[in-house]
Structure 1
């Protein structure tokens, strides 16, 4: 499918590594000019350099979106944006109800929700004026399938999905759509190392090939039965970013391999 992103300009927040980096690379490969965002200049510049070396177009925006000043700086570099991907987020799998603090709740909500709102407020009015735009939140399936652990993270993702739907109502008839991608597990190097260590401790095996199916079954059972790779998520975002997704708004797309609560559906 031709996604028709040539001539579009996209800002992907938190794109100096991980899923954000993959989204930026895919959008650039599809013809969009990408604004790569991060707080660490060296890492952010490296991603942009890689995109350019692959034949794409990329600019760099540095700023802490957890602050108004940082959001202003990023918006100034981004300029007129056609596609806003609010990907930046914070996640700590070690935190539980017994260890989470009010400060953890406030920090997570500020980074995962309010930072995205800051960019929406700065960049979406221009989309509305021009009569075309795409706003995409990256959330998590934990927003509607919360577990006992990481309650603050799950709540922030529910908020991300909710704000995407609310923004769609605000932008009705404007030519600008708003959607959310609720992600399941992501196979990043850090996630693989973390799950491999857990798997070895639990006696699920020694290699990732042995551990992955057990880790999925025990921690996040899904119909597909494996952890999602970053490109699978990035391709969905690229579709939402283009003209072909014009009739899709106010939606949360569960890109999670059919992740389910084992207490609700049998494996």
Structure 2
């Protein structure tokens, strides 16, 4: 059965930062499947081009923009390659669960803030003015439930997500009545190959056995309990981003969509 909702993305151009792998790749593919021209971004040209080729093989249209958004010069390069876009998805972000309060230096805090927050600000400053001129656009920040349910570990990461939520709300107010919206999608856990391997190891360490499908509910209860009882798939989160990026979501701005299965406890 085909789609029952047309998100009306045909003719729109979207830049997804950090889309050469993982969730960013899934978002780029979802937007392309809805008819948007997608600019795949990364720092590694071969990886970004591989994602673009996958999109094109599935009948979509994709371009590539290479650059380090941690610098103004890199952001300039990416903005130039992307051109005038209708949709900006700020997905670039890193985390490190091995870090805690006692071993996170001030340099660690500054570096992570630059990557997770200022990189998005750089792209907003470069790409949103033209959206405003055209009276239509979408900015979607990828955040995390850690913004409101922080763990004791990786405090610098948790804080950057709170900052992303806040800047998105401020941007929505700045763009009021302009036709450009600003929203956040905040996942809990995401089942990627890397997280699956890590969580499988956690399951084994806690005496669980069997396939991932058999262990997943127990691992979720132990690590990140939620009312759905499993971990979100990248494609599910990508669909939520595609909706907020579409003309169908014209009346939504300033929201943070928690995509965490109603996570009710932080481990």
TM over 0.5: yes
**Counterpart in 2 of 1:176?**
180
The separation in 2 between residues aligned to 1:39 and 1:177, in whole angstroms, is: 27
2:72 pairs with 1:68: yes
Higher mean C-alpha deviation, range 99-108 or range 21-30: 99-108
**Counterpart in 2 of 1:26?**
30
The separation in 2 between residues aligned to 1:104 and 1:217, in whole angstroms, is: 31
Would you say the 8 A contact 2:150–2:266 is kept in 1?
A: no
2:135 pairs with 1:131: yes
The counterpart of 1:229, out of the listed 233, 239, 263, is: 233
How far off its partner does 1:60 sit?
0.2
2:161 pairs with 1:154: no
Would you say the 8 A contact 1:23–1:234 is kept in 2?
A: yes
The separation in 1 between residues aligned to 2:174 and 2:108, in whole angstroms, is: 30
2:227 pairs with 1:238: no
SS in structure 2 opposite 1:145?
coil
Q: How does 1:78-117 map to 2 (within 5 A)?
A: 78-117=82-121
The separation in 1 between residues aligned to 2:60 and 2:29, in whole angstroms, is: 8
Q: Mark the runs of 5 or more structure 2 residues left unpaired by the alignment.
A: none
How far off its partner does 1:23 sit?
0.4
The counterpart of 2:203, out of the listed 199, 202, 206, is: 199
2:16 pairs with 1:9: no
Would you say the 8 A contact 2:42–2:67 is kept in 1?
A: yes
- TM-score of the superposition, structure 2-length normalised? 0.96
The separation in 1 between residues aligned to 2:266 and 2:7, in whole angstroms, is: 37
The separation in 2 between residues aligned to 1:236 and 1:173, in whole angstroms, is: 23
- TM-score of the superposition, structure 1-length normalised? 0.96
The separation in 2 between residues aligned to 1:96 and 1:215, in whole angstroms, is: 22
Would you say the 8 A contact 1:200–1:206 is kept in 2?
A: no
**Counterpart in 1 of 2:147?**
143
2:53 pairs with 1:49: yes
Q: Mark the runs of 5 or more structure 1 residues left unpaired by the alignment.
A: none
Higher mean C-alpha deviation, range 169-178 or range 195-204: 195-204
The separation in 2 between residues aligned to 1:99 and 1:242, in whole angstroms, is: 42
